[in-house]
Structure 1
Amino acid sequence: MRVPGEILMVGTAFGVGGDFEDMVLDTATLRIAFGLMALVLVLLFYFSAYRITRSPYSGWWCLALLFFLTGSACFLLDGTVHQIWANPLGNVLLVHGGVAVWAGARSLRTVPPPKWAFTGIPLVTLVASVLDNPATNTWSGGPVFLAAMSVSIGLASRELWRLEPGYSRVRIPMAVSAGGLAVFYFFRWVAFLFEGQHGPTFTTVFGSAVTTLVTMVLLVVVSFSMAALSSEQQTRALRVVASRDDLTGLLNRKAFVDLAAELLSDRTITRGSGALILADLDHFKTVNDTYGHAAGDIALQRFAEACTDTVRSTDLVGRYGGEEFVLLIPGASAERAELIAEEISRRLASAPTVDGMEMPTASYGISTYDAGTAEVDSVIAAADAALYVAKSGGRNRTARSDRLL
């Protein structure tokens, strides 16, 4: 039987159900001990991680643990008249927990979880459980349940491995733990398919005290690593806020200059050459005076979007101040920078407006740098001089510093 009145709260939360008849301690004692451990972890994660950092990762983990605990509680009703609905519900809640673990791992890369994961995977699990005689079969939908858990937790491990190396080192034990648990579920699924729920391998290897001990170790690893990753996620979020312009979402002036200086000093990037574009919206004050400051904000946002939609994700785009913007294009020539400026203007002109507002035009100053350029300030100053020429020449045009007399 799956959980013949002897389910362990945390054991089943991580899929460690089955027969514990060989355990030295009685099952009631173990159930209370593991249940208290899981409850303590939920409270610990909430008060020491999520409530303090408000990091999405810690939030997802708190949600995952709640799914695991409530799913386990449903299995306590096995052997009663409520088993017919409690057993499928327990499967669905545990699968939701696995998906929440995956969603938490994705949040570390600021990637939202796919919507189908919280509907499709649990729905398939529910259908399989309902169609497999849940009133009498405590392992109703077992193969689908085990496969769903293996896949969801395996995907969580993959997301943790995909984190950039600069992330907290605890991502490695987290990825190993999740990967090991996914492999465990996989072999458990294989044993279930070949032997069934009463098979010797399935009941001894995957329902033994060793499995319970492994679960305890995983919980300890998670408790330390999750808190560290949550703090790291919050720290990175604060860094992003500190480096971004509130209105446009682009790099602010200081962040742009700092990152540009790093790129100029790195000779491995396109041999240290590239172009810088300094842009200024023409007659921006007129936009504010005619249509209001809200319209002016829209114009700034549309220009920022035109810039980011035109350049590569590896290029730098920042709001230099007011209606001035700056772009650093590593590897670009002056001619390429001119084409980029033209494309930005084209996108701005076709951007949607409100209340009949006419988008302003833009003027651009372009300068280039090479491996011998030491200071980013000199590159910006050259582009600024070119921009002054473009503004003086009638605006809505581009000027290059290498063509100035």
Structure 2
Amino acid sequence: MKKGGFLIGKTAIQPVDSCRIADYPIKPMWTDLIDIIEKSARRFWRTAMRGHVFNLELAKTIGFASLMLVGISLAEDWFAGMVFENVGFVYLYFLPIWFSARKGGRLAGGLISVMTATKWAMFADARYPLLAWMLNVVILAGVMMIFETLERRMARVSKEAATDPLTGLLNRAAFVNQGKEILHENENTRSQCAVVLLDCNKFKAINDRYGHAAGDEALKVLARALKDSSQGDDLIARLGGDEFVVLLAETDSIGANLFMNRLNGTLRRASAELAFELSASAGIAYYGYDGRSLDILMQVADEKMYRNKQRSNLALATMAESGVSNIV
């Protein structure tokens, strides 16, 4: 509030007597409302593009499935008109429903099912159009649920085929396939990464003294420690036996050193709760410096790990610059 007048936006409105209103730079009140709407729209758009308001991939899925639905409708009308009447394309309408359920889940599949049912109801000569529309929605939603259930089962089977059953980590085949894709992206983006190969120290002695159950527990604890020490984009796998591998995405020697330090601390804390001491030897190979293919990086990391394992009874030696590390 200003003495002798009031404010609208940033413009002071003073009391007027006999002078003309045009002499004062009065800002219309609706311009403030327009500014608010404009700023809100810009903020909503920026937030939406970051994926905070809606899932951008979901929107793309629905949009592409809608285009498929329109294309099938046009093809059906054209084909029926050019050749003969009553040509049924009903099964083709399941294609956008299957695609949307596969890519976007139940929400996208349900929306496309409702759109398909609405399209059928618009051109159907039914005595009770609302009832026919509801029946079509139920039928198509059931088809969508079948597609979505089959997709989840296929995804579960695929995950089980790519997962180590004891630790829940990736197995060797899955790690190689996904690792090669990451290295291919690194080749295009010129990003750094590192491959860490680990071997559980004295694993045979743990099995012989404490039993195979203790050996399995050691592998599980080591797998959890690797998960807790890594980042979201890193790949972790059990190669077999007591050997593990980690692909540290977008990581240089400093990041690899930090990873090793985190892993070392996690294993030390875990050893305090176990009946045996849990430690591991590791070797690190850096993309670009030690090689550019996954096979070469794993081979170099394995050689460094083997050399380091010979010194596993020494004190902790983490030398990320040389690519050799040891966890005791």
Same fold (TM over 0.5): yes
CA contact (8 A) 1:265 1:374 kept: no
Match of 1:389 in 2: 307
Equivalent pairs, count: 222
How many angstroms does 1:209 deviate by? 3.8
| 1:293 and 2:212 correspond | yes
TM-score, normalized by length of structure 1? 0.48
| 1:237 and 2:153 correspond | no
The one-character-per-residue Cα deviations of 1:11-33 (angstroms, maximum 9, x if unpaired) are xxxxxxxxxxxxxxxxxxxxxxx
Q: Secondary structure at the match of 2:151?
A: helix
How many angstroms does 1:364 deviate by? 1.1
How many angstroms does 1:278 deviate by? 0.7
Q: CA RMSD in A?
A: 3.6
| Structure ranking higher in strand proportion | 2
| 1:306 and 2:238 correspond | no
The one-character-per-residue Cα deviations of 1:59-106 (angstroms, maximum 9, x if unpaired) are xxxxxxxxxxxxxxxxxxxxxxxxxxxxxxxxxxxxxxxxxxxxxxxx
Distance 1:391 1:372 in 2: 20
Segments of 4+ moved more than 6 angstroms: 162-165
Distance 1:400 1:177 in 2: 49
Q: 1:164 to 1:176 in 2, by over 3 A?
A: closer
Output aligned runs, 1:179-328, within 5 Å.
179=111, 209-267=128-186, 271-328=190-247
Output aligned runs, 1:147-162, within 5 Å.
161=58
Distance 2:143 2:163 in 1: 31
The one-character-per-residue Cα deviations of 1:46-65 (angstroms, maximum 9, x if unpaired) are xxxxxxxxxxxxxxxxxxxx
How many angstroms does 1:214 deviate by? 2.0
Distance 1:253 1:173 in 2: 29
Q: Secondary structure at the match of 1:381?
A: helix
Which of 99, 102, 109 is equivalent to 1:169?
99
Distance 1:363 1:221 in 2: 56
Distance 1:384 1:399 in 2: 16
5+ residue gaps in structure 1?
1-156, 183-207
The one-character-per-residue Cα deviations of 1:335-364 (angstroms, maximum 9, x if unpaired) are 32122112112112212777x512321111
Distance 1:163 1:248 in 2: 36
How many angstroms does 1:400 deviate by? 5.1
5+ residue gaps in structure 2?
1-53, 63-96, 115-126
Match of 1:342 in 2: 261
Q: Secondary structure at the match of 2:276?
A: coil
| Amino acid aligned to 2:287 | Y
Distance 1:230 1:398 in 2: 48
Identity %: 28
How many angstroms does 1:398 deviate by? 4.0
Q: 1:403 to 1:291 in 2, by over 3 A?
A: closer
The one-character-per-residue Cα deviations of 1:254-294 (angstroms, maximum 9, x if unpaired) are 11111111111113775242111111111111111121110
Q: 1:239 to 1:310 in 2, by over 3 A?
A: same
Q: Which has the larger radius of gyration?
A: 2
Q: 1:231 to 1:259 in 2, by over 3 A?
A: same
Q: Secondary structure at the match of 2:190?
A: helix
Distance 1:311 1:304 in 2: 11
Match of 2:297 in 1: 379
